[in-house]
Amino acid sequence: MATTIKETKIMKYSKSIKGYFKLSDGTKTKFEIDKLGEWEQWGNQRDNLCITVPNVMRMVEELVYNDR
């Protein structure tokens, strides 16, 4: 069975978005995105990047392009 995102927590601050994804394999990936679109994530296994990175990129687009 493929790993999926089971839960997403997003907290919006004046200068960033922070949050995490809980995955169906039991891992948790935390992320932070600043107003310039710079982002980082940590805490996940490398195998799960194909699941979490597209979601972070969508949030980056929303934060950077909708904030103009």
pLDDT on residue 9:
97
pTM: 0.82
Contacts of residue 9, defined as CB under 8 A and 6 or more positions apart, other chains included, come to 19, 20
pLDDT on residue 54:
92
pLDDT on residue 33:
93
Taking the domains of the chain in order of start, what are their residue ranges? Answer: 5-65
pLDDT digits (tens, 9 = 90+) for 10-68: 999 988 899 999 999 999 999 999 988 899 998 866 777 888 899 999 988 887 776 65
Query: Rounded to whole angstroms, what are the CA distances from 50 to 8, 12, 36, 41?
Result: 16, 24, 23, 13
pLDDT on residue 38:
93
